[in-house]
Structure formats: C-alpha cells, structure tokens
Amino acid sequence: MSKVIITEKLTKKFDDFTAVDAISFEVEQGEIFGFLGANGAGKTTAMRILSGLSYPTSGKAEVAGFDVYNQVEDIKRNIGYMSQKFSLYENLTVRENIHFFGGIYGLGRKELKQASEELISRLHLGPEANKLVKSLPLGWKQKIAFSVAILHRPKIVFLDEPTGGVDPITRRQFWELIYEATSQGITAFVTTHYMDEAEYCDRVSIMVDGAIAALDTPAALKSQFNASSMDAVFLQLARAAKRS
C-alpha cells in the first residue's frame, strides 16, 4: 500500500484567521477517507489546498506524489474533483459533458468513446444520455458528475459533500459507485455531513476549529469515545468547538 496524500503541519491563514491549523495525516491508496467537521471547521479550505485551488500558508503536503507548492499541474492531472456546487454544464447533454471533460483531461478519441459508452451503460442512462443535464433529477446528476470526475482514472477523487439534498436510497446508490471506484484502486477523499456515510468510510478524520481532533476507523473511534454511533462521536467532539 502506498500513500497518496501526505500532509505535515499544513496551515492556511486568512489574515489573522487560521482556517486550517497545522494538520498532519496520511491517506492510503484505495482508501475511502472521510473528512468530517462542522461548518466552518476548515474542511473545504483543506480540500481546496490538496486539489490545487488554493496555496497553503505553511506546512507540507504531497498529493499523488507531487508537491502542492510547485507541482500543481501534475497534481491536477492525477485527481478528480466533485464539489457541492453542481459542476456539470446544465445546458449540455450528458454525452457532451463527458466528451468535454474527458477531452480536457487528455483522453484520446477512442478512449473518449469507450469511456463514455461504459459510463452510460454502467449508470443505465440509455436514451437519457442525449438529454440536457438540467432535465435530469439531482440524484442522477450527482452520479453522472462523479462518474465524469473519475473518467480519466485519477489516483484520487475529492468529493466535497457530494450527496447533499438527495434521498437515502440515491445516496446509497452513490456510495456503491464510490466502492466500485475504490475497488479499482482510486482513492476517495470525502467530506460529508451525514453520519451514516461516515460509517461507510475506511477511516474518518474529524476537524474541530481547523485542527484534526480525531482520526481512526469508525469502529475504533466509537470505542475510543465510548459511543454507539458516529453521530455521538461527532457531537462529543464538535460541541467542544469554539467557532461555529
């Protein structure tokens, strides 16, 4: 097992506000890594640094073996990203979105065709593939967005609250897709507010006030905090937060 994300005292300050406070952790290849925390705890900021959207103020971080300070272009080629803000083009069809995003990640004509047929059949899209994205239900859009984010077979896929606003069944289906991807060696780095989803993760870190307050498997965390569910673990930790 190799490590695909390594951070050491990674810090991000906005003026005198420390959004991310010297966090250190490692993520193994093929792992589902849950990145939890209350709103404003610094999850999104940390994720933006790791995906090359933001510079850290200090500390070290390597993503897919590349340095976040000066090898951002290499990082970008090796990661996928799906944010809570919806990220497909609504006025393009599913096929056109696949074609565009696959294209800018450097997939060749044959690969593009093959990858898009695969995606369409895996999600059972059929004729819906030729419809505009905006006409599809949210759950479908999220599944398609995820599939498009891993179209170029990245080493790591960053998922920022990917299942916001959909029903439990659709969320479950979405997680099936994540399992499928990680079984093929893709690492999933997920932020979420749903504690049942935290149970699906291999390991979970919980951020409080910019720092990592706990990091372990869900089972170990539950026994450590003497709690019956991740929900209880999270509440114990998040209650201690000074900023919210």
Which CB sits closer to other proteins, 91 or 226?
Answer: 91
State how beta strands 58-63 and 211-216 pair: unpaired
Q: How far apart are CB 89 and other proteins at their closest, in Å?
A: 6
- By CB under 8 A, tell whether 226 contacts other proteins: no
For the window 88-107, what string marks contact with other proteins as x by the rule CB under 8 A? xxxxx---x--xxx-xxxx-
Which CB sits closer to other proteins, 44 or 192?
Answer: 44
> Which positions from 9 through 48 interact with other proteins, judged by CB under 8 A?
48
Q: How far apart are CB 237 and other proteins at their closest, in Å?
A: 28
Which CB sits closer to other proteins, 33 or 105?
Answer: 105
Number of chain residues interacting with other proteins (CB under 8 A): 31
Q: Which of 27, 79, 123, 215 binds other proteins (CB under 8 A)?
A: 79
Which CB sits closer to other proteins, 15 or 73?
Answer: 73
Which CB sits closer to other proteins, 98 or 195?
Answer: 98
CA dist., res. 75 & res. 79, Å (int): 6
> Which positions from 120 through 139 interact with other proteins, judged by CB under 8 A?
132
State how beta strands 58-63 and 3-14 pair: antiparallel
Which CB sits closer to other proteins, 98 or 204?
Answer: 98
Q: State the residues that interact with other proteins by CB under 8 A.
A: 48, 51-55, 72-73, 76-77, 79, 81, 83, 85-92, 96, 99-101, 103-106, 132, 158
